[in-house]
A and B are shown apart, each in its own frame.
Chain A
Amino acid sequence: MGFLPLCQLFREARAPDHPVALRLDPAAGPAPRTWAEFAAAAAWAADGSRRAGGRRWVLACPDAWDFAAGLFGLLQAGRTVVLPPNFQPETLRGLEREADGVLRETRAGAVAAPVPALEGSVEFWTSGSTGEPKGVPRSLAQLDAEVAMLERTFGHLMPDGPMVGTVPHHHIYGCLFRLLWPLAAGRPFLTEPVGDPAEFRRALARLRPAAVAASPAHLSRLPQLLDLDTLSGLPGVVFSSGGPLASADAAVWARRVPGGVAEVYGSTETGGIAWRRQEQDGPDWTPFADVALAFQAGALVVTSFRAGPEPLRMEDAAQAVPGGRFRLLGRLDRTIKLEEKRISLPELEQALEAHPWVARAAVVLLEGIRPTLGAVAVLKPGAPAERALLVGTLRAHLALRFEGMALPKRWRFPKELPYDGRGKLTPQALARLFQAEPGRPAPP
């Protein structure tokens, strides 16, 4: 094993047969996949990118092995790597328009030459709070600082073994925990995500992972589908990020896992800010050692090399508690987290209003056993009157750019948006529209 900074990975190199990645289904190919294969795949991507030229390249790899090797291949070629928020067709088309090339896979067979220390940057594209998607730049140095901090903070909780995760590899949390941190730490990573309960059980039993990178969406539901006491190969620690984990859900896992459940609070813009283990330490968060925090008007302001040159204001209300820790109190703006996916309500509304049938649109988070999105659209003349056609078409229109979780599940088509007397549109007024039956769309 041995920890290597990401920038040095290809300069120092691992032994050619060092295991880099594992596959859940051994029938899919020999396991493990070695450093020699990984370096060759990265070299293949680097060669291709160099031949094609350009500065910015989109990394459109739904496969985690291709994503990881492709990422380093593009960095080797000196490219800025554009990481899409999802792989929906219009998302990729939009990013490719602003880039010079796209990498969709890697191949074997290239010859990996020695590589000097790497530098460069990636851009994580994510929902912006104003409605337009935005690219969040992260330098390789910042990513290195991140994985070093993770190893320093949590390494002692992790036995030997591979890294496994239920979360997607192309968002910052999965990218760090499922790919970059294991690569730096010399631990193999499992290529496939294991959100499916049968795959989760099989992965644990076969691989006996050091850790699982999971999310509240899975940690709250897997125990209702699997008897955890019958699982073999439970990890040394379970990580959770993307949203608050209910203490009851944390407890279910923490009592069966020696290192407990370590939650990480952070964002694409700041990286990880703080962590907690509820079973051991209660609900309050401990900042990572390289983070300085301030509190302005009830919001958290973060200063850290990993957060960039300027102090960043977080989207959550927070208050300081004794001992240098803090408590989170709820979100401040209209970017919500739904099942750990960041969703910009303004971005959805703008996408709806771009459709020729829609005059005005508003999207609201509907609370309940399972929070869901409700879309309210005021229709233009010429829009059809049939509800099924309306809903089907508008959902398909949104699906070009947004993935499953972000698609509204409930729809209303009133004559006008429910502004109050002062001309404000409140979430409560929008939510009230959903208390009654759908009814017929109001004629424009």
Chain B
Amino acid sequence: MVITPLEMKQFIIDTLGLEDLTPEAIGDEEPLFDGGLGLDSVDALELGIALRKRFRVEAADQDPALKDHFRTVGSLVAFVAGSGQGPLEAGT
């Protein structure tokens, strides 16, 4: 599933309620966590849940950790593009 970096930035802003950020303020290769955006580990889980719902990507079954896919907007876009669209699993 192809998503542009701009769309991904807006998705991150909307999902995490980042009121004061515009997509223009987030660099494609800027570290999302441990960096200027100040996102924390629970934000990573929230983002993972939202990606799963919206794009049907399974982050937790791959070998690299969630945080590797989520390092930057660029790596997120690549991750979503590379993941197949499997059937949505029931959560519990």
Contact = CB atoms under 8 A, between A and B. Distances in A.
Interface of A: 195-202, 217-218, 221-228, 252, 339, 370, 372, 387-388, 391-392, 395, 399, 403-405, 407, 409-411, 438
25 contacts: A195-B41, A195-B45, A197-B48, A197-B59, A197-B66, A198-B62, A198-B65, A199-B65, A200-B60, A221-B42, A222-B45, A223-B91, A224-B52, A224-B91, A225-B49, A225-B66, A226-B60, A339-B42, A387-B20, A392-B36, A395-B38, A404-B38, A404-B43, A410-B17, A410-B20
Interface of B: 16-20, 25, 36, 38-46, 48-49, 52, 59-67, 89, 91-92
A409 B42 contact: no
Task: Decide if the interface of chain A is mainly helix, strand, loop or mixed.
Answer: helix
Given A225-B66, A228-B92, A252-B92, 18 more contacts: A198-B59, A198-B62, A198-B66, A201-B61, A217-B42, A223-B92, A225-B48, A370-B17, A387-B20, A388-B25, A392-B36, A404-B43, A409-B18, A409-B19, A410-B17, A410-B20, A411-B19, A411-B20
A138 to B, nearest CB: 26
A405 B64 CA distance: 24
A224 B46 CA distance: 9
* 7 interchain residue pairs of minimum CB distance: A404-B40, A197-B60, A221-B45, A196-B65, A224-B49, A391-B20, A225-B60
A409 B21 CA distance: 10
Nearest to B50: A224
A63 to B, nearest CB: 16
A222 B60 CA distance: 9
Nearest to A368: B17
Contacts of B48: 197, 225
Contacts of A370: 17, 42, 46
B64 A407 contact: no
A410 B61 contact: no
A202 B61 CA distance: 9
A437 to B, nearest CB: 9
B66 A196 contact: yes
A196 B33 CA distance: 13
A100 to B, nearest CB: 30
Given A195-B41, A198-B59, A221 B20 contact: no
Contacts of A404: 38-41, 43
Nearest to B22: A388
A289 B59 CA distance: 43
Nearest to B62: A198
B38 A198 contact: no
A438 B18 CA distance: 12
A372 B62 contact: no
Nearest to B49: A224
Given A197-B66, A198-B62, A407 B42 contact: no
Nearest to A226: B60
Contacts of A391: 20
A391 B49 CA distance: 27
B40 A403 contact: yes
A387 B42 CA distance: 26
Contacts of B60: 197-198, 200-201, 225-226
A430 to B, nearest CB: 15
